[in-house]
Structure formats: C-alpha cells, structure tokens
C-alpha cells in the first residue's frame, strides 16, 4: 500500500527507443489515487509502450517510473498489483474459462474467486466455454474479469471497448463505474472513443511526439469547448493554440475553440454551439 | 513456478505424446521396415534400432523439440497470454525449459525401458544400456535442450535454432571424446573434474545467454555491442570451454614424462635367468620418454639430460587430435664408454628399429627387426635381442639375435614348452 | 429518467439534482420511494460515482433525501415542495430571460424560435 499523499503513478522523463525509432521522449505523467485518466493519442505514438513500461514488461532507456510505490525491476511483481486489459487480449485456447480463472488464482496474490465467478454470471460468460471458442466480445469480458478479479489498486486499460458491440461495451463501462464505486481505484485508460467515457474521466492527457503534450481537466473539455461557425474573409486564422480549424469551405469556416477566454474575439457574427467530446478529441489529435 | 511448469507441460502434451509414441514404435515398426529397405540386413534387430535411436534418433528429436519450444517462447502471441502474468519473463522461459527437461527425462526413461527389453544380440543391448545409463549421456541431453532452446529463442526460428544448437553440441562434444582418449592414454586422472566443470559451465552459460536474450528481446533493453557480444560468447561457450579444456589436457599430456619401463611387456620367465646374469659390459639405461612428442632421453650420472631421440613437434599444438598411443617398445643399453644400443618401435609399425651411437653424437639406424609378439634388448658383453615368435600358443620359440658390427646374425632358437629348460646353456657363440 | 448533457454549462451533479426534482414533480417518484443506489445510477448513466455521490450528498443536505429505517436516499415528504420551489425558480428565470430579450430588441418570433430550438433539444 502506498501512502495517501503519494501519487499512484509517477513517471518522469521517460524515454524509450526501439533501434533508431524514438517512441517516448522524456514523458511525464502523474496519476493521483482515485483519478480516472484518459490517454489520448494516435496509433503508434507510444501509448502501448508506456503501458508496457508501467507493467514492467519493457525496460525504459531513461527516466524514473513509480507505480503503487514500486519501481519496475523485471521481477513481474507489479503485474500482480495492476489490472491490465491489453489491446488484443489472448488466453490459452485449450483452457476453459473456469480453468483460466483457476490458473490465475494461483498466480495473482489477491485473487478473489467469488468476485470472478460473480462477474462471469453478471456478464453472462459461460465458465465452461473453451477459450478458443469465445467470440471477441466474450474474450473482452474475460479480459475484463481477469483484470479486476484480483482487486488491483491500479487499472490500465488499452482500448477496452474497441471493436465490441453496444451490449458488451455497456457491460464494460458499467463494470468500470462499479470498480470506481468500490473506492480507492485509479484508472488509466487509452480509448479511441474517449467520448463515451466523458462522464467518468477526470483528466485527459494528450500523447503526442513521445510526450504528454497537454493535460486537460474533463470539466474543461465538457463545459468550455465550443464549435464556432464564422466567416473568414481573408485566409487568416486567429493565432491561438486554443483555436483549431475543424472544416472550411470558401469563406465559411468552423472552428474548435478551447477555453472560454478564447471566445472573446469570436462572439460577433458567429454561430456558437457546445462541442461534443468526440469532436474535441479529434481536433486535439488533428495537428 | 509449479503452476507454470504444469501449464507448459499441458501446452505441449500432444507434441510430447507424439514423440513418446514414435520412440515406442521405433523398434517394432522400424525394424521390419529397415529390413525390407536394406538388403544386407543381418545386423538389423530391434536392439540395433533402439541403439540407433539412443545415439542419433532421440537426441535429434529432443533437439528439434526444444528448438520448437524456444521459438514458441519468442512468439508474439505469448506476450498477452503469458508475459502479462505476475512472474518475471525469465522465469517464464525457465518454466518452459524445465518442462522440456521433464519431458526429455520421460523419453530417456522410455528408451531405458526399451534397451532392456527389446530382442536382439546381447552385445548390442549391452552397449545401448551402458550408453543411456551413463552420466555423460544426461549431460549431453541437457546441453542439447539448453543450446537448442537458446539458439532458437535467439534466432526466433525453431529449425535454424535447433541446427545451430546441434552443431555447437556436436562440435563441443568431439573434444570431450578426445579428452577421454587423453585421460586414458596418459593417465591424466587429476584433470577428470574438468569433464564435470565444463558440462556445468556450458549449461550455466546457456542459461545466462537466455537471461540476457530475454532482457534484450522481451524487455527490449538497449542492444549494446557489449551485450550482443556477451550473448554470442555465451551461446558458443560450450565450444570454447571444451576446446579450452582439450588444450588443458594437451598441456598436461605434453608435460608428462614417464619411464620407458611403462612400455615394456613383461620379460618372460624363461629369459629372466639370462637377464640377471649379464653383469658386465652393456647395462640397461633408465630411459625416460615424453610420450606427447616421443622424445626419448635419459639423465646421466652428472644430472645432465641426454636426448637420444629428439621430440616430434610437428603435430599442431594445442589441438593435437590424436593422442599418442603407448605402444612403443623402448629399451636401451649402454657401456661405460657411452656407446648405446637403442631398440624402438614406432606406434604404427610392425617392426622395430635398432639404433646405435652415443648420446653426444646421436644415434644412427642400425637395423630393422621384426617384432614378433615381444622383443627384448638385454645387456652384457655383447647385447642380446630376444624375440617371441610363439605360434598358436603351443610351446615357445625364441629367436636369438646377436648384434655385432654390421649385419645382424639371425639364428633360430627355441624352447619346447614342455621341458621348461632355461635357455642360457644353449646360447650360440 | 434522468438525462445528462455532458456539454451543458451546468455541472453534472446539478443536472442530477434537477433530474430528481423533475421526476418528483411529474409524480414518477413519490415520497417514501428509494432512489437508486449511487452505484446503480452511476452505472446506468456511465458517470463517475463521485459525481453522483456529491449530488446525493447535497440532496440529503437540502432535505430532498432522508434516511429511514436504516435505508438511505429515500425521497422525503419535503421533496415535492422543494421540487416545486425549484420549478418556480426555474420558471422565474426563463420568464426573466424572455422579458429581458423582448426589452432589448428581440421580437416575439425570436423568442418562439429559441423555445422551439430548446424543445427540439429537450425531447
């Protein structure tokens, strides 16, 4: 157990290259206890590498990493304390679901079999089914269950709802909320559809060029972002980091505006609407 | 850890069962097939097939099997099914290795069972039994598993890995055979621990290589030149170690000096009386020989080394692959003036060389004599040579030769086995 | 049921409170009914439980919720009055805004257009 005033996750100056390809270039990230943090980044920008370093699967080149009061040291101990849902979950095909759970019960120190079975029932996952026969949705359910059944203080979720149908997605998001309701859980989640998490997120970190280039409070993104349609006579766009061009046809342009203060110059002669999260995220990733 | 090993065993259950079945069926099925295919099939029995399996078949099976497992451990799919578990990635590899060893042990047990019970000539069965119950066999199998696994994990390819691993084990095993020859030929018992040390070191280096490979390959640590060189070194270590210890044996053999007495076949009882009566003139020299170079010398009364036959340094050091065999006959007699008669046989020759000369001026070839079953140079007024030309073990015939200056005078001289009379009275001339 | 607009200027916890008051107003929730647990509501609306917890805390402080016989978050008898008060306050605000608009140059048609737009959003 880590002290209450210490961050659950603390990453400083993390760098990692694969050969000549620099993926992470001095990344900093903090997550306090109980926070839900979204990592927003395009594919191949290093979010999986970041997760793998946090999980002690890959050795960092430089920088310090601390999670749950421990530093990754190659022993795999951290993996017993973190709940991880990988982007492409996989289990041994010849095992049945119940065998997967039994197997993990023997390896994870805080495994709660009662909880695991209860979740199977709740998510309608047949414990007798063989892993190789599971659909993508059921595999995702199993991945979720194995991640949370040992009651970890930290959850790392890599695209947990990607490619899943509405019902399974709903299950997983409800599951997330339930874990939060239990209390004391910190969640770091990378999601292509970050918008669906709008009600749950506390912060969104933008992963760009190998660093966290910006951190936004969820409240800010929900209440202080606007879509503004204006007429741009000359091809000039207001020079402002908080204003991004969404679309343009002729003189008519639509802008994404971040921050109420950036609205000042645009109020007259413009149509203003609140911006939904998905559009906001798209705009942030855009440049 | 046990859970993991159980998992690995379960994963490969079908593969293992297949191998076991192949092994069990090799004798009953292989024998008739081979007999049918090969025309000269007198020697092909179940025992022969099983011996073949022990020497070639099983090691090859285990090599390819551990190669496949090594490749499996390097696959992407393992990342999410196994690496995300709370055990270190190295431990995961060890669990895979352990399961292979357990399965290999099972197969060796089956082989043990087979060699004891298959029909076939007793001598072949005996050879097979001693093979699979001998300590070196297990060490070799251990190294086959470790090297096969390490190479295929490094190369991410089961066949290539198995091939290179097999080559390394084979090439490393060859010096072991040589070392054994050396040990026996030169009685170098003090270096016996080397066999075990090298085996253990080779196994350890494979394990160390796998750990470093895991760091570089799984954990994507920086591939420094130092690390990669170290890994290559460790993978090739069995080769380096066994050739290094072969060198040690070479050095030990090279430094060995023994008395020429060791080369004698015992003087037959019939000649003893003659030998002990020859008191004046030429007397035997305490010859010393360095078997490695075949240098022959003696230490004279003033402590000086007198070389009679210079050593042969032409074999390439340190890898002299064929140790010298102790089949020389070396005897010398010397008179007070320093004249020496030397009798010597080359290892591969059926004849003896008789040399004459002095230590100072060197020895020159004098005559070539047939060896017979034994040949002895005795001292006295004039040196005497006895050879044993016994035929069919019935009676003993001694051919007595009296070297003078020039031509060797040959006279037949025989003792009938039944009268057992001492030959001394019948020495001609 | 309660509908949350993630992008509204109104904080989510406020929207939850307003939502409950609306349900009581329409008679869908009566005094004595138990509100869904924080966990359940958060799960349904896909919200952070802390947000729901905050709303519930404030509703309890305001007297909208009460604890009865060991159960929490029961609609209290005061709920209806509070809801009505809320409604009255809301109505007053809309009235004020419309009046201001008319005073400052908006036409009746403008006001209607706005209301139509809001209606479209509300349903």
pLDDT tens-digit series, residues B231-248: 999 999 999 998 888 888
Taking CA–CA distances from A100, the nearest residue in chain B reads: B81
CA separation for the pair C123, C113 (Å, rounded): 16
Closest CA to A54 of A64, A45, A44: A64
Rg (CA), chain B: 31
> Which chains would you list as touching C if contact means 3+ CB atom pairs under 8 Å?
A
What is the percentage of chain B residues whose pLDDT exceeds 90? Answer: 23
Residue C20: pLDDT over 60: yes
Average pLDDT over residues B12-32: 86
Out of B3, B77, B88, whose CB is closest to A76?
B88
A125 Rama sector, left if φ>0, alpha if ψ -120 to 50, beta otherwise: beta
Please enumerate in sequence order all residues whose Cβ is within 8 A of that of A60, keeping only pairs 6 or more positions apart, or say none: A14, A15, A16, A24, A53, A72
Residue B418: pLDDT over 70: no
Yes or no, beta carbons of B11 and A61 under 8 Å apart: no
Q: What is the pLDDT of residue A179?
A: 93
**Domain C12-122 maps to which CATH number in 1.10.10.10, 1.10.540.10, 1.10.630.10, 1.10.101.10?**
1.10.10.10
Average pLDDT over residues C18-28: 89
Indicate the pLDDT class of residue B388, thresholds 50, 70 and 90: low
Closest CA to A147 of A83, A51, A55: A83
Distances (CA, A) of B429 to B377, B410, B424, B425: 17, 12, 12, 11
Q: In this complex, does chain A touch chain C, defined as having at least 3 beta-carbon pairs under 8 Å apart?
A: yes
Task: Give the distance from residue A264's alpha carbon to the nearest chain B alpha carbon, in angstroms.
Answer: 50
Domain ranges of chain A: 9-219, 224-286
Q: What is the pLDDT of residue B342?
A: 84
CA separation for the pair B299, B256 (Å, rounded): 16
Residue B210: pLDDT over 90: yes
Q: What is the pLDDT of residue B320?
A: 63
A contacts of C7 (beta carbons < 8 Å): 222-223, 225, 274-277
A contacts of C6 (beta carbons < 8 Å): 198-199, 222, 276-277
Taking CA–CA distances from A226, the nearest residue in chain C reads: C7
Question: A107 touching B, CB under 8 A?
Answer: yes
From the number of C-beta atoms within 10 Å of its C-beta (0-12, 13-18, 19+), residue B287 rates as buried
Question: A86 touching B, CB under 8 A?
Answer: yes
Q: What is the pLDDT of residue A156?
A: 96
Indicate the pLDDT class of residue B90, thresholds 50, 70 and 90: very high
Out of C4, C8, C9, whose CB is closest to A199?
C4
What is the percentage of chain C residues whose pLDDT exceeds 90? Answer: 26
Average pLDDT over residues B38-46: 72
Q: What is the pLDDT of residue B325?
A: 57
Least confident segment among A134-138, B98-102, B358-362: B358-362
CA separation for the pair B213, B302 (Å, rounded): 63
Q: What are phi and psi for residue A17, nearest 5 degrees?
A: -125, 150
From the number of C-beta atoms within 10 Å of its C-beta (0-12, 13-18, 19+), residue A281 rates as buried
Indicate the pLDDT class of residue B43, thresholds 50, 70 and 90: low
Mutation target to probe the A interface, by most A beta carbons within 10 A, among C15, C16, C40, C49 is C49
**Residue tagged 């078997």 (tokens):** B291
Least confident segment among A135-149, B95-109, B217-231, B285-299: B285-299
CA separation for the pair B161, B305 (Å, rounded): 55
Yes or no, beta carbons of C39 and A174 under 8 Å apart: no
CA separation for the pair B52, C66 (Å, rounded): 87
Indicate the pLDDT class of residue C11, thresholds 50, 70 and 90: confident
Taking CA–CA distances from A36, the nearest residue in chain C reads: C48
Out of B7, B77, B91, whose CB is closest to A90?
B77
Query: Do residues B382 and B370 lie in contact, with contact meaning Cβ atoms separated by under 8 Å?
Result: no
- Measured in residues, chain B has a length of 429
Least confident segment among A174-183, B311-320, C50-59, C77-86: B311-320
- ipTM value for the complex: 0.87
DSSP string for B88-109: -HHHHHHHHHHHHHHHHHHHHH
Query: Which among A116-125, A218-227, B180-189, B308-317 has the top mean pLDDT?
Result: A116-125
Please enumerate in sequence order all residues whose Cβ is within 8 A of that of A277, keeping only pairs 6 or more positions apart, or say none: A194, A195, A198, A221, A222, C6, C7
Low-confidence ranges of chain A (pLDDT < 50): 1-2
Domain ranges of chain B: 2-254, 258-426
Specify the DSSP element, H or E, that contains C79. Answer: helix C79-103
Q: What is the pLDDT of residue B408?
A: 43
Higher pLDDT, B422 or B84: B84
Out of A74, A77, A92, whose CB is closest to B81?
A92
CATH number of A9-219: 3.40.50.300
Domain ranges of chain C: 12-122
Task: Give the distance from residue A220's alpha carbon to the nearest chain C alpha carbon, in angstroms.
Answer: 10
Mutation target to probe the C interface, by most C beta carbons within 10 A, among A38, A169, A177 is A177
Q: Strand A36-40 and strand A203-208: pairing?
A: parallel
Mutation target to probe the A interface, by most A beta carbons within 10 A, among C42, C56, C114 is C42
Q: What is the pLDDT of residue C88?
A: 82
Give me chain B's average pLDDT, please.
79
Yes or no, beta carbons of A108 and B86 under 8 Å apart: yes
Q: Strand A243-249 and strand B258-259: pairing?
A: unpaired
Closest CA to B355 of B257, B305, B302, B287: B287
- β-bridge partners, A154: A82, A186
CA separation for the pair A142, A149 (Å, rounded): 10
Closest CA to B292 of B186, B181, B183, B191: B186
Q: What is the pLDDT of residue B232?
A: 94
Closest CA to B106 of B70, B58, B154, B139: B58
Indicate the pLDDT class of residue C115, thresholds 50, 70 and 90: confident
Indicate the pLDDT class of residue B412, thresholds 50, 70 and 90: very low
Please enumerate in sequence order all residues whose Cβ is within 8 A of that of C6, keeping only pairs 6 or more positions apart, or say none: A198, A199, A222, A276, A277, C12
Indicate the pLDDT class of residue B419, thresholds 50, 70 and 90: very low
Indicate the pLDDT class of residue B269, thresholds 50, 70 and 90: low
Indicate the pLDDT class of residue B411, thresholds 50, 70 and 90: very low
Q: What is the pLDDT of residue A131?
A: 95
Yes or no, beta carbons of A92 and B7 under 8 Å apart: yes
């Amino acid at each position: 157990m880590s002290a209450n005033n210490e961050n659950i996750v603390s990453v400083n100056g993390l760098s990692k290259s694969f050969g000549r390809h620099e993926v992470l270039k001095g990344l900093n990230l903090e997550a306090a206890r109980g926070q839900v943090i979204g990592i927003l980044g395009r594919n191949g920008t290093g979010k999986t590498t970041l997760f793998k370093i946090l999980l002690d699967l890959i050795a960092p080149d430089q920088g310090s990493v601390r999670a749950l009061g421990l530093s990754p040291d190659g022993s795999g101990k951290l993996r017993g304390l973190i709940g991880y849902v990988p982007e492409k979950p996989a289990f041994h095909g010849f095992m049945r679901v119940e065998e997967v759970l039994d197997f993990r019960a023997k390896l994870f120190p805080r495994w709660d079999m009662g909880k695991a079975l209860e979740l199977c029932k709740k998510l309608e996952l047949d414990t007798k089914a063989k892993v190789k026969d599971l659909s993508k949705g059921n595999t995702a359910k199993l991945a979720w269950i194995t991640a949370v059944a040992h009651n970890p203080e930290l959850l790392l979720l890599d695209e947990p709802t990607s490619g899943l149908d509405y019902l399974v997605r709903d299950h997983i998001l409800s599951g997330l909320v339930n874990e939060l309701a239990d209390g004391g859980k910190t969640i770091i989640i990378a999601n292509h559809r970050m918008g669906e998490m709008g009600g749950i997120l506390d912060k969104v970190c933008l992963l760009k060029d190998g660093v966290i280039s910006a951190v936004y409070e969820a409240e800010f993104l929900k209440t202080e972002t606007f879509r503004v349609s204006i007429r741009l006579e000359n091809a000039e766009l207001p020079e402002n980091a908080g204003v991004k061009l969404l679309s343009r046809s002729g003189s008519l342009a639509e802008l994404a505006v971040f921050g109420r203060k950036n609205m000042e110059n645009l109020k007259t002669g413009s149509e203003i609407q609140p911006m939904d999260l998905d559009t906001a995220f798209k705009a942030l990733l855009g440049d | 850890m046990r859970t993991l090993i159980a998992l690995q065993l379960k994963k490969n259950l079908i593969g293992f069962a297949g191998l076991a079945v192949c092994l069990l069926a090799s004798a009953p099925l292989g024998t008739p097939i081979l007999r049918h295919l090969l025309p000269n099939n007198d020697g092909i029995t179940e025992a022969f097939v099983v011996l073949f399996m022990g020497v070639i078949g099983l090691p090859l099976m285990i090599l390819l099997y551990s190669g496949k497992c090594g490749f499996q451990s390097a696959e992407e799919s393992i990342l999410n099914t196994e690496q995300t578990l709370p055990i270190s990635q190295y431990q995961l590899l060890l669990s895979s290795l352990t399961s292979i060893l357990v399965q290999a042990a099972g197969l060796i047990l089956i082989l043990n069972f087979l060699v004891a019970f298959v029909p076939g000539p007793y001598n072949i069965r005996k050879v097979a039994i001693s093979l699979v119950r001998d300590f070196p066999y297990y060490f070799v199998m251990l190294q086959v598993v470790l090297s096969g696994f390490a190479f295929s994990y490094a190369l991410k390819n089961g066949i290539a890995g198995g091939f290179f691993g097999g080559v390394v084990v084979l090439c490393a095993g060859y010096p072991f055979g040589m070392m054994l020859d050396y040990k026996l030929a030169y009685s170098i018992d003090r270096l016996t621990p080397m066999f075990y040390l090298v085996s253990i070191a080779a196994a350890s280096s494979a394990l160390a290589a796998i750990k470093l490979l895991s760091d570089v390959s799984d954990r994507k640590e920086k591939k420094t030149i130092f690390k990669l060189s170290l890994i290559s070194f460790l993978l090739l270590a069995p080769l380096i170690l066994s050739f290094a210890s072969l060198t040690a044996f070479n050095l030990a053999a090279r430094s060995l000096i023994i008395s020429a007495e060791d080369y004698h076949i015992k003087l037959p009882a019939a000649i003893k009386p003659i030998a002990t009566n020859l008191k004046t003139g030429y007397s035997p020299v305490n010859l010393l020989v360095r078997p490695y170079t075949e240098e022959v010398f003696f230490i004279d009364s003033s402590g000086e080394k007198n070389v009679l036959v210079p050593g042969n340094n032409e074999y390439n050091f340190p890898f002299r692959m064929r140790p010298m065999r102790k089949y020389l006959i070396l005897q010398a007699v010397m008179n007070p003036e320093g004249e020496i008669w030397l009798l010597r046989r080359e290892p591969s020759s059926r004849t003896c060389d008789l040399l004459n000369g002095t230590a100072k001026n060197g020895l020159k070839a004098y005559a070539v004599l047939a060896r017979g079953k034994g040949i002895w140079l005795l001292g006295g007024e004039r040196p005497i040579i006895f050879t044993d030309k016994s035929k069919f073990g019935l009676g003993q015939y001694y051919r007595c030769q009296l070297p003078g200056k020039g031509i060797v005078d040959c006279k037949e001289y025989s003792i009938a086995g039944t009268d057992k009379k001492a030959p001394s009275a019948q020495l001609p001339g | 049921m309660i509908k949350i607009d993630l992008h509204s200027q109104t904080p989510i916890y406020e929207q939850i409170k307003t939502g409950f008051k609306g349900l009581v107003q329409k008679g869908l929730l009566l005094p004595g009914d138990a509100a869904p647990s924080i966990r359940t509501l958060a799960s349904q609306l896909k919200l952070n439980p802390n947000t729901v917890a905050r709303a519930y805390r404030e509703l309890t402080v305001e007297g909208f919720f009460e604890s009865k016989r060991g159960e929490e978050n029961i609609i209290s008898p005061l709920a209806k009055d509070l809801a009505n008060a809320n409604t009255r306050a809301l109505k007053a605000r809309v009235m004020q805004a419309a009046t201001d608009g008319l005073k400052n140059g908006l036409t009746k048609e403008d006001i209607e257009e706005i209301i139509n737009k809001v209606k479209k959003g509300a349903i």
